[in-house]
Amino acid sequence: MSATLNDADRGATRQRLGVKSGNVVEIDLYSDAQIAEWDAADRLEDGERERIVGAVTGPGQRRAESTYS
């Protein structure tokens, strides 16, 4: 779903998003079900996760426990 965000000069939403006043910005809204589908599709197998973490942190270094399973 797309929506257009049009906020006033002093709008808190505009300030949080870092958008200059007077701009019209298109935003997309996603349902919890859509986000859950993406999370499931992006889930890594343990071996793949370890390979990536090892490539980033270097061999023999411990990784922080992930909040994602």
Residue 37 confidence class, pLDDT cut points 50, 70, 90: very high
Domain range spanning residue 11? 2-57
Q: Which residues of 26-62 are buried (b: 16+ CB within 10 A; e: fewer)?
A: eeeeeeeeeeeeeeeeeeeeeeeeeeebeeeeeeeee
Is 8:33 a contact under the CB 8 Å cutoff? Answer: no
What total of structural domains would you count in the chain?
1
In a domain, 24, yes or no: yes
In a domain, 65, yes or no: no
In a domain, 68, yes or no: no
What percentage of the chain exceeds 90 in pLDDT?
Answer: 16
At residue 24, does pLDDT exceed 60? yes
Alpha-carbon span 43 to 16, nearest angstrom: 30
0.75 cut: is pTM over it? no
In a domain, 6, yes or no: yes
In a domain, 66, yes or no: no
